[in-house]
């Protein structure tokens, strides 16, 4: 056993992807397919006074033009997360109101994409407009409601008492900018009605929820809906539920009685497929002279849209990271005329760790204590909100291993003390963390006489490596080569595989796969797959087959499950011209047992690179007058190019978390981005002696600091 | 949908003739900017005249300088041994622009005619005098972080996006064009226009005129010239500020200087006053700082781009320092 788990396996879907045979949503070709192009609002707050579609309707190839005046039929789903969920709690085209610029106000259906796009351009909308609120400084903030059933506020002890009389105190405000998902695969849908049944080809991180949701949206049983998502080109949280364009496309397809494809442009995606809200966070820390925390305060502000509630839950990490007798968390939310924000790679954890880990660095400097030491001294043994001990926590090992591998003790304890080629050099570190989530899943495994193994589940591979992880887990359990395992994912016809989100797909699927494989051997009355194959050949049966389900249980009442990590980095700054480069990176991660070291390391690298984007360049501006995003496409919305990414070393602790699940895995995907921006800003402080508290660290800020 | 016809020109004369015959025909070579614009309805020509087969793809020495055919790819210009040896700042500027794939297809002539990347120009949701004369300039009171410091008007605050054009302006190049009225030469700094009240016109090309070549004059001290580009990421981003600089230093004294800036105006911004200031001065940090002050005199920052004044001074100082020391990567 366990010969495969923990090895480096190249992704099973790699060849299909590089040769173009992996079929993404927009690539499904159905005879009779017609094309839709959405029409979007050019103002951010107002009402449509008049909308003239006549010219568009007369344009060649146009089949239909939908606006709020002739919206295709759809029903409000329960939208309660258990049964169904849509990203935006307002159905598209429900009325003439405009809540944000880029909101969908219509759809043109035509025989070709080009003709649909052209006709969409001919639709003229007149608006009554009110001044939009797109700047946080002009917004009004109120206490944020609980997020996903979890309170964002929390208090224990007395913050003021903990702060007063402390040997060292930090109080500082940190900000992050609005960030866009910009996944490589744009949002797209092909909707195909046959009789009363709907097939949806759409990038979905959760095909079973999507199936139920589309069923409710169109008043049909979910059994009459099929969601097909074999491949996703990146999702990061923005492809878990239907967005307005998908709902509208499916509704329009039903009405025009043709299979319909809608692909959003990059421009459209800047406004109406989710983003990470800007945040403003004030952190208060107090400590004794030897660096023991006595108080932590964390106040957070973020913004949501007028049509849904999403608070970037930054305070979730605060009771997890460091122990303090006095702890106070507050979170506020404002409604602004911007598109609906949503989950984006480590929602809450990422901006939360930016603020907390920057403040911890400030505290370390003020106490003249090594920042690694300060973290070791204060690590929380239990989840301070849940009151539960952490299971299989190896945070200290991440810090110690990282410090050793990076050579941290060589770091001079003075700012502006390292230079190279005329540039300032700085070293920084920060912690990383992400909860261990696990869902319920069912998996079907089949063993064929020739030793081929089929694994089938509706769970998704977002491009993260689930195909390979599933294959390795089954190969390991049955003792067959990975090449003999064929994996089918992302189709609602298959057994419910749960949600690919919250970094939980591996922890969700692996226990079910292991159980199904054991069931096969048991039903074959064999101890190895080889014996079972011989038994199949002798009995002339087609296959041994088993379906198993697995779900979290009583352990969640005994333990808090959390992954941990530490980032160490080097930056160089050409101070005169504000040119900052990240030149070296090491991440040490405690994510439980690692199934595929290659894919897991890639996930961490991807997170680090995305974090470099947040730290150095990512920023969506909204036009102060119209409220429209001013970034236009992948050229104007900057994220890291290859030249921005250094070599990134990744080390795993690798200790299994058996209390969490029988596979001992906690999953990896989001943790990599947490703490990255703080590690960089902390390194910039070491290089320059200047503390930057507002992201991104663009040249204008770096020369003015 | 507005269809367009596509024709292939067989000679420069044929191309000019075809362009003169219709009012809204456009030449297409690499198409790396034009096709993008057509996709979002910024350009809706009735006809595209493909000039890629014309014999304008040679680089040849002329009178101590170099003539670069209009159809030579950006990559080929940057890779040419004479360009690399005698005009390294030009090679560097090209290599810091776009991506390898785009540079392989984009042409020298097309580089001059690429249009601003002002996001307010690109999205029809915003008012833009360049796209629709008389509609107003949303960038003037919008997010104008990338916009002009010099030569802008209330009608337009956009900047020219090219890197390649900055050393071409600094070096005093000449643009050769051919049109219905024959051939003419346009000094590089007179090729592009300031926006004034007609921001829809980027250049002084007349209808039907085609760029045939760019001629680089001999500038011996350009061998140590530098191009410095400052931007929001390490690659594939337009300049916040860029500087092309070459100085002729002898015995510690600056004999001549060539200086131009990108990312600051509707055209490549030649800094003639700073060049004149530098002449005869000692090649010292103090001189370079003073030259930077001269160069930025008269800068008119907008709400979000004030930082560019300081950044530009720093970039000029740095570029002159490296150029005076014999050049290299800036």
Segment A59-91, tens digit of pLDDT: 999 999 999 999 999 999 999 998 999 999 999
Checking DSSP bridges between strand A293-304 and strand A326-335, what pairing results, if any?
Answer: parallel
The pLDDT of residue A705 is above 90: no
Look at A326 and A165; give whichever has higher pLDDT. A326
The pLDDT of residue A1 is above 60: no
Segment A524-579, tens digit of pLDDT: 999 999 999 999 999 999 999 999 999 999 999 999 999 999 999 999 999 999 99
Q: Whole-number mean pLDDT of chain A?
A: 97
Segment A300-333, tens digit of pLDDT: 999 999 999 999 999 999 999 999 999 999 999 9
Low-confidence stretches of chain B (pLDDT < 50) are none
Q: What is the pLDDT of residue A149?
A: 84
The predicted model gives A284-303 an average pLDDT of 98
Measured in angstroms, the CA of A120 and the nearest CA of chain B are apart by 10
The predicted model gives A415-425 an average pLDDT of 97
- Which residues, in sequence order, are bridge partners of residue A581? A572
Segment A582-617, tens digit of pLDDT: 999 999 999 999 999 999 999 999 999 999 999 999
Task: Select the residue of B143, B234, B310 nearest A623 (Cβ to Cβ).
Answer: B143
Task: Select the residue of B232, B307, B317 nearest A703 (Cβ to Cβ).
Answer: B307
Single out the residue of A662, A666, A682 nearest to residue A565, CA to CA. Answer: A666
Task: Select the residue of A578, A624, A635 nearest B142 (Cβ to Cβ).
Answer: A624
A349, exposed or middle or buried, with CB in 10 Å at 0-12, 13-18, 19+?
buried
Residues of B in contact with A576 (CB under 8 A): 314, 317-318
Residues of A in contact with B314 (CB under 8 A): 576-578, 703
CA distance A78 to A81: 8
Instruction: Kindly state the tokens that stand for A121.
Output: 């351009």
The predicted model gives A219-241 an average pLDDT of 97
Question: At A700, phi and psi to the nearest 5?
Answer: -60, -40
- For B320, the 3-state DSSP assignment is helix
Any B CB within 8 A of A180 CB: no
ipTM of the complex: 0.97
Beta strands in A14-147 (DSSP E): 34-40, 46-52, 62-67, 97-98, 104-110, 124-129, 141-143
Least confident of A89-98, A624-633, A684-693: A624-633
Taking CB atoms and an 8 Å limit, are B314 and A578 in contact across chains?
yes
Any B CB within 8 A of A641 CB: yes
Q: What is the pLDDT of residue A623?
A: 96
Whether the Cβ atoms of residue A612 and residue A22 lie closer than 8 Å to each other: no
**pLDDT over 90, % of chain A:** 97
Checking DSSP bridges between strand A225-228 and strand A197-201, what pairing results, if any?
Answer: parallel
Nearest CA in chain A to B305: A700
Single out the residue of B155, B57, B119 nearest to residue A270, CA to CA. Answer: B119
Any B CB within 8 A of A576 CB: yes
Any B CB within 8 A of A636 CB: yes
Query: Using CB atoms and an 8 Å cut-off, which of residues 615-634 of chain A contact chain B?
Result: 616-617, 621-626, 628, 630-632
CA distance A122 to A270: 22
Checking DSSP bridges between strand A275-276 and strand A260-263, what pairing results, if any?
Answer: unpaired
Instruction: Kindly state the tokens that stand for B55.
Output: 């014999």
Least confident of A19-23, A172-176, A457-461, A629-633: A629-633
The pLDDT of residue A31 is above 50: yes
DSSP state string for B153-198: BTTB------STHHHHHHTT-EEEEEETTEEEEEEHHHHB---TT-
Nearest CA in chain A to B312: A577
Question: DSSP secondary-structure letter at A228?
Answer: E
- For A376, the 3-state DSSP assignment is helix
Taking CB atoms and an 8 Å limit, are B123 and A115 in contact across chains?
no
Instruction: Kindly state the tokens that stand for A267.
Output: 């421009």
Instruction: Kindly state the tokens that stand for A68.
Output: 């709020």
- For B280, the 3-state DSSP assignment is coil
Whether the Cβ atoms of residue A586 and residue A415 lie closer than 8 Å to each other: no
Nearest CA in chain A to B139: A623
Taking CB atoms and an 8 Å limit, are A623 and B138 in contact across chains?
yes
Segment A167-180, tens digit of pLDDT: 999 999 999 999 99
Segment A626-647, tens digit of pLDDT: 999 999 889 899 999 999 999 9
CA distance B268 to A109: 44
| Residue of A38, A103, A639, A699 best to disrupt the B interface, most CBs of B under 10 A | A699
Task: Select the residue of A577, A623, A624 nearest B318 (Cβ to Cβ).
Answer: A577
Residue whose tokens read 């694994």: A455
The pLDDT of residue A228 is above 80: yes
Checking DSSP bridges between strand A485-488 and strand A453-456, what pairing results, if any?
Answer: parallel
Taking CB atoms and an 8 Å limit, are A631 and B119 in contact across chains?
yes
Taking CB atoms and an 8 Å limit, are B317 and A579 in contact across chains?
no
pTM, two decimal places: 0.98
Residues of B in contact with A59 (CB under 8 A): 1
- For A671, the 3-state DSSP assignment is helix
Taking CB atoms and an 8 Å limit, are B230 and A616 in contact across chains?
no
Question: At A367, phi and psi to the nearest 5?
Answer: -90, -10
Q: Residue A36 to residues A59, A91, A198, A519, B324: CA-CA distances in angstroms?
A: 14, 18, 17, 47, 59
| Residue of B96, B101, B119 best to disrupt the A interface, most CBs of A under 10 A | B119
How many interface pairs between A and B have CB atoms less than 8 angstroms apart?
A: 102
A189, exposed or middle or buried, with CB in 10 Å at 0-12, 13-18, 19+?
buried
The predicted model gives A226-241 an average pLDDT of 97
**H-run or E-run covering A227:** strand A225-228
The pLDDT of residue A451 is above 80: yes
The pLDDT of residue A651 is above 60: yes
CA distance A513 to A468: 13
**pLDDT over 70, % of chain A:** 100
Residues of A catalogued as catalytic: 670
Taking CB atoms and an 8 Å limit, are A635 and B236 in contact across chains?
yes
Task: Select the residue of A267, A622, A638 nearest B233 (Cβ to Cβ).
Answer: A638
Whether the Cβ atoms of residue B27 and residue B49 lie closer than 8 Å to each other: yes
């Amino acid at each position: 056993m366990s010969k495969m788990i923990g090895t480096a396996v190249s992704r099973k879907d790699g060849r299909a992807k590089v040769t173009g045979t992996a079929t993404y949503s927009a690539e499904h070709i159905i005879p009779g397919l017609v094309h839709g192009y959405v029409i979007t609002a050019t103002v951010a707050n107002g009402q449509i006074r008049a909308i003239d579609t006549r010219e568009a309707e007369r344009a060649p190839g146009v089949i239909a033009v939908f606006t709020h005046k002739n919206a295709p039929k759809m029903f409000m789903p329960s939208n309660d997360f258990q049964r169904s969920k849509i990203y935006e709690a307002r159905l598209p085209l429900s009325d003439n109101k405009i809540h944000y610029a880029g909101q969908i106000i219509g759809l043109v259906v035509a025989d070709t994409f080009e003709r649909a796009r052209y006709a969409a351009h001919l639709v003229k909308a007149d608006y009554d407009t009110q001044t939009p609120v797109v700047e946080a400084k002009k917004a009004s903030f109120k206490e944020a409601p609980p997020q996903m059933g979890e309170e964002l506020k929390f208090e224990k002890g007395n913050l003021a008492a903990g702060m007063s009389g402390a040997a060292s105190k930090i109080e500082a405000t940190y900000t992050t900018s609005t960030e866009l998902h910009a996944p490589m695969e744009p949002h797209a849908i092909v909707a195909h009605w046959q009789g009363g049944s709907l097939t949806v080809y759409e990038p979905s991180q959760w095909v079973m929820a999507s199936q139920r949701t589309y069923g409710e949206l169109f008043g049909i049983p979910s059994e009459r809906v099929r969601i097909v998502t074999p491949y996703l080109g990146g999702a990061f949280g923005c492809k878990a539920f239907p967005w307005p364009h998908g709902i509208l496309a499916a509704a329009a397809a039903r009405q025009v009685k043709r299979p319909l494809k809608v692909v959003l442009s990059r421009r459209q995606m800047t406004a109406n497929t989710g983003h990470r809200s800007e945040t403003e966070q004030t952190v208060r820390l107090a400590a004794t002279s030897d660096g023991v925390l006595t108080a932590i305060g964390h106040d957070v502000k973020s913004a949501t849209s007028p049509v849904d509630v999403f608070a970037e839950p930054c305070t979730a990490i605060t009771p997890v990271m460091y122990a303090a007798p006095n702890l106070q968390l507050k979170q506020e939310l404002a409604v602004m005329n911007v598109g609906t924000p949503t989950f984006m790679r480590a929602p809450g954890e990422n901006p939360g760790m930016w603020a907390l880990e920057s403040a911890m660095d400030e505290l370390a400097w003020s106490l003249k204590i090594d920042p690694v030491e300060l973290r070791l001294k204060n690590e929380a043994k239990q989840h301070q909100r849940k009151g539960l001990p952490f299971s299989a926590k190896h945070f200290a090992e991440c810090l110690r291993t990282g410090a050793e591998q990076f050579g941290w003790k060589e770091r001079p304890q003075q700012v502006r003390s390292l230079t190279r080629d005329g540039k300032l050099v700085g070293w920084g570190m920060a912690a990383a963390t992400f909860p261990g989530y696990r869902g319920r899943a069912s998996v079907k495994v089949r063993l064929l006489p020739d030793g081929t193994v089929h694994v089938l589940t509706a769970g998704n591979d977002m491009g993260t490596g689930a195909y390979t992880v599933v294959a390795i887990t089954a190969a390991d359990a049955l003792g067959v080569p990975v090449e003999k395992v064929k994996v089918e994912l992302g189709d609602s016809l298959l057994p419910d595989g749960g949600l690919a989100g919250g970094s939980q797909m591996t922890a969700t699927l692996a226990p079910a796969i292991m159980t199904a494989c054991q069931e096969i051997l048991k039903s074959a009355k064999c101890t190895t797959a080889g014996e079972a194959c011989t038994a199949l050949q002798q009995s002339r049966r087609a296959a041994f087959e088993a379906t198993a389900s697995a779900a979290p249980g009583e352990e969640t009442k005994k333990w808090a499950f959390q992954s941990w990590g530490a980032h160490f980095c080097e930056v160089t700054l050409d101070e005169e011209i504000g040119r900052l480069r990240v030149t070296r990176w090491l991440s040490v991660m405690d994510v439980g047992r690692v199934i595929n070291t290659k894919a897991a390391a890639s996930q961490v690298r991807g997170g680090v690179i995305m974090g470099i984007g947040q730290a150095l360049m990512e920023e969506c501006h909204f036009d102060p007058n119209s409220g429209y995003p001013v970034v236009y496409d992948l050229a104007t919305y900057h994220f890291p190019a290859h030249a921005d990414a250094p070599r990134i070393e990744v080390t795993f602790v690798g200790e299994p978390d058996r209390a969490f699940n029988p596979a001992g895995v906690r999953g990896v995907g989001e943790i990599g981005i947490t703490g990255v921006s703080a590690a960089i800003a902390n390194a910039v402080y070491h290089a320059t002696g200047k503390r930057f508290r507002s992201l991104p660290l663009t040249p204008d800020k770096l020369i003015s600091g | 949908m507005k269809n367009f016809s596509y024709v292939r020109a067989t000679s420069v004369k044929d191309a000019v003739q075809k362009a003169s015959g219709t009012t809204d025909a456009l030449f297409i070579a690499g198409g790396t900017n034009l096709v993008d614009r057509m996709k979002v309805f910024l350009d809706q020509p009735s006809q595209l005249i493909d000039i890629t087969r014309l014999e304008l793809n040679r680089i040849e020495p002329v009178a101590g300088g170099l003539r670069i055919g209009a159809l030579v790819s950006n990559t080929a210009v940057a890779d040419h041994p004479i360009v690399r040896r005698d005009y390294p700042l030009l090679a560097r500027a090209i290599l810091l622009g776009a991506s390898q794939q785009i540079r392989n297809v984009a042409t020298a002539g097309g580089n001059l005619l690429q249009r601003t990347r002002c996001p307010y120009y690109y999205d029809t949701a915003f008012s833009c005098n360049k796209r629709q004369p008389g509609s107003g300039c949303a960038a003037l009171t919008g997010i104008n972080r990338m916009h002009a410091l010099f030569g802008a008007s209330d009608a337009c605050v956009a900047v020219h996006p090219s890197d390649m054009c900055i050393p071409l302006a600094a070096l005093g190049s000449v643009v050769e064009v051919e049109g219905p009225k024959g051939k003419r030469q346009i000094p590089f700094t007179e090729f592009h226009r300031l926006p004034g009240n007609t921001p829809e016109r980027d250049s002084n090309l007349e209808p039907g005129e085609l760029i045939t070549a760019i001629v680089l004059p001999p500038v011996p001290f350009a061998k140590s010239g530098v191009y410095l580009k400052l931007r929001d990421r390490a690659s594939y981003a337009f300049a916040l500020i860029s500087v092309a600089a070459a100085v002729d230093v002898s015995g510690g004294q600056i004999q001549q200087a060539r200086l131009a800036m990108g990312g600051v105006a509707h055209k490549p911004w030649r800094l003639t006053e700073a060049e004149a200031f530098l002449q005869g001065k000692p090649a010292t940090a103090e001189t370079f700082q003073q030259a930077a002050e001269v160069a930025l005199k008269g800068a008119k920052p907008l709400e979000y781009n004030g930082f560019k004044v300081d950044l530009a001074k720093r970039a000029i100082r740095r570029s002159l320092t490296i150029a005076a020391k014999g050049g290299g990567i800036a």
